[in-house]
Amino acid sequence: MTNPRISPALDEQARAILTGNDRGGYTVPTDGLYPYQWNWDSAFAAWGFATFDLDRAWTELDTLFSAQWADGMVPHIIFHKPDPGYFPGPDVWGTGQSPETSGISQPPVAATMARLIFEMDAEAGRDRLAALYPRMLAWHRWWRDQRCGSGVVAITHPWESGRDNCPDWDIGMANVDGSNVGEYTRRDTGHVDASMRPGKADYDRYIAMVQFGRDCGWDQSEIVANGPFLMADPGITFILLRAHDDLAALGRALGHDVSEVEGWAADLRAAVPSIWNAETRGFDARDLKTGRFSGRIGSAAFLAYLANVESPELDARMTELWDAVRYGFPSADPASEEFDPRRYWRGPSWPVVNALMAIGLTDRGRHAAAERLRRETAELIEAHGFFEYFDPIDGTPCGGDAFTWTAAIWLTWAG
Ligand code: 9WN
């Protein structure tokens, strides 16, 4: 995925964002709004760092895995240093970990990013990879043991998906009681425009789910069995499937027996048809408490390409959603009534998801589609800067500025 470098000035800005968001061994997603280390943001940051500082890239992944739980989970937030600028902080999560962390995970892109980094310089990365490999293996085993009971990957909280308020989760969220969570003060809406963030009803339910986890001591089996929310996520299913293959490739490069990982990948691949919804003609989230499909198609469905899953129907659906907007891939279906072009994961185009989709499309030989995605993403960044997400219709920049993963995908892919 090498592109001619089209703007040295933007390259320089992107590097400055990564180094400016570096808090010493880890990066924050953006200053102010997200003052801690987030899981999948860090994996993308590592990929970005690898374009100019390979050693720093491996360190980012090391720091992420230094917060791994004894059961193998790598948490979605690591609260290295207290910061009142974010809610809910470590006191609300109450996981009792050291360092303090949240109690859920996030999309496992780390092995995919580690492979991209390793392949930039295998010699220089061999020892770093050797140290990381058993930790990544333990995390993938955790996904398999704690989240793949139904075959595909389940999430226990919308934050686990990384696509917090996308319409996929609406049917599962409807069953969560957010009325008894008590008083709290959000911090996100003090940093960015509230109309671009999830609403209060969503936040009440997010907090109710955190309180359930805390009250049962973050017992993952209890959360899966009796927690308020459990939905099959096409996004993490495809990301994990891809990551299993990348982890196996890394294991082989180190001379390990990778048959266990290959087995996990085969089982997960066999379960993928269970999230195909013939009615919506797409891969769809499913409420595992009722078996019902969400009936919503969003960008996660098209991460299928990343996992070597493709079909003419998927291609046709991708074109339908994409041709309805102008800038990159919409996070929700523009033809649906929920579509909201600036409300977080309910419509906006996310550079980081565009990059993942493009990796998949390139690997499947869809070079024209991958190039269109790159060009449209680059146009957004060139016109407005390194924002968190963008209105896919008119390109309005949204959310946080000077964003780590937007800078990272510029250096590695879009720029
Ligand atoms: C909750 C950091 C994270 C991303 C997620 C994105 C958003 C957090 C929030 O920010 O989630 O985890 O408070 O909104 O949805 O994908 O990792 O950039």
State pLDDT tens for residues 165-210: 999 999 999 999 999 999 999 999 999 999 999 999 999 999 999 9
Q: At what angle do helices 39-49 and 110-120 cross, to 10 degrees?
A: 10
Q: Which of 64, 106, 164, 343 to mutate to test the pocket of ligand 1 (most atoms within 8 A of CB)?
A: 164
Protein residue with its CA nearest to atom 14 in ligand 1: 164
127 Cα to the center of ligand 1, angstroms: 31
Task: Please enumerate in sequence order all residues whose Cβ is within 8 A of that of 301, keeping only pairs 6 or more positions apart, or say none.
Answer: 234, 282, 283, 284, 314, 317
Domain annotation covers residue 327: yes
Has residue 117 got a pLDDT over 80? yes
CA distances from 207 to 41, 89, 169, 193, 199 (A): 22, 11, 15, 21, 13
Catalytic residue among 22, 100, 160, 164: 164
30 Cα to the center of ligand 1, angstroms: 11
Cβ atoms of residues 179 and 235 within 8 Å: no
Q: Which of 31, 38, 93 to mutate to test the pocket of ligand 1 (most atoms within 8 A of CB)?
A: 38
Domain annotation covers residue 351: yes
Cβ atoms of residues 90 and 79 within 8 Å: yes
Q: Which of 155, 159, 166, 350 to mutate to test the pocket of ligand 1 (most atoms within 8 A of CB)?
A: 159
Count of Cβ atoms closer than 10 Å to residue 229 Cβ? 24
Q: For the chain, what is the largest distance between any 2 Cα atoms, rounded to a whole number of angstroms?
A: 55
189 Cα to the center of ligand 1, angstroms: 13
Classify each residue of 324-352 as buried b or exposed e, where b means 16 or more C-beta atoms within 10 Å of its C-beta.
Answer: ebebbbbbbbbebeebbbbbbbbbbbbbb
pLDDT in tens, 304-314: 999 999 999 99
> Which among 307, 308, 283, 286 is positioned nearest to 297, based on CA atoms?
283
Torsional class of 72: left (φ above 0), alpha (ψ -120 to 50), beta (otherwise): left
User: Could you give the percent of the chain with pLDDT greater than 90?
Assistant: 98
Residue 289 pLDDT: 95
270 Cα to the center of ligand 1, angstroms: 30
Residue 4 confidence class, pLDDT cut points 50, 70, 90: low
Mean pLDDT calculated for residue range 69-73: 98
Question: Residues lining ligand 1, CB < 6 A?
Answer: 29, 34, 38, 40-41, 76, 159, 162, 164, 188
Helix and strand element counts for the chain (H, E): 17, 9
159 Cα to the center of ligand 1, angstroms: 7
Cβ atoms of residues 414 and 11 within 8 Å: no
Residue 8 pLDDT: 84
Has residue 1 got a pLDDT over 50? no
Which tokens is 242 given? 């891809």
Q: Tell which atom from ligand 1 comes closest to the C-alpha of 188.
A: 13
Domain annotation covers residue 2: no
pLDDT in tens, 326-341: 999 999 999 999 999 9
Mean pLDDT calculated for residue range 372-387: 98
Is 164 noted as a catalytic residue in this protein? yes
Task: Reply yes or no: is the peptide bond before residue 75 cis, omega within 30 of 0.
Answer: no
Domain annotation covers residue 278: yes
> What is the distance between the alpha carbons of residues 412 and 415, in angstroms, rounded to a whole number?
7
Mean pLDDT calculated for residue range 273-288: 97
344 Cα to the center of ligand 1, angstroms: 10
Has residue 17 got a pLDDT over 50? yes
Task: Please enumerate in sequence order all residues whose Cβ is within 8 A of that of 152, keeping only pairs 6 or more positions apart, or say none.
Answer: 232, 233, 234, 237, 268, 271, 272, 274, 275
Count of Cβ atoms closer than 10 Å to residue 96 Cβ? 12
> What is the distance between the alpha carbons of residues 21 and 94, in angstroms, rounded to a whole number?
26
Residues 120, 123, 128, 131, CA torsion sign: positive
Domain annotation covers residue 239: yes
CATH number, position 339:
1.50.10.10
Is 371 noted as a catalytic residue in this protein? no
Q: Tell which atom from ligand 1 comes closest to the C-alpha of 162.
A: 16
Q: Tell which atom from ligand 1 comes closest to the C-alpha of 404.
A: 18
Has residue 2 got a pLDDT over 50? no
Average predicted confidence (pLDDT) for the chain: 97
359 Cα to the center of ligand 1, angstroms: 22
Task: Please enumerate in sequence order all residues whose Cβ is within 8 A of that of 209, keeping only pairs 6 or more positions apart, or say none.
Answer: 156, 157, 176, 227, 228, 229
Q: Tell which atom from ligand 1 comes closest to the C-alpha of 403.
A: 18
Domain annotation covers residue 1: no
Domain annotation covers residue 339: yes
Protein residue with its CA nearest to atom 16 in ligand 1: 162
Catalytic residue among 333, 376, 388, 401: 388
pLDDT in tens, 336-359: 999 999 999 999 999 999 999 999
Domain extent, residue 336, equals 8-414
Protein residue with its CA nearest to atom 5 in ligand 1: 162
Residue 110 pLDDT: 99
Q: Tell which atom from ligand 1 comes closest to the C-alpha of 161.
A: 16
- Domain total of the chain: 1
Q: Tell which atom from ligand 1 comes closest to the C-alpha of 39.
A: 17
Residue 5 pLDDT: 58
Domain annotation covers residue 311: yes
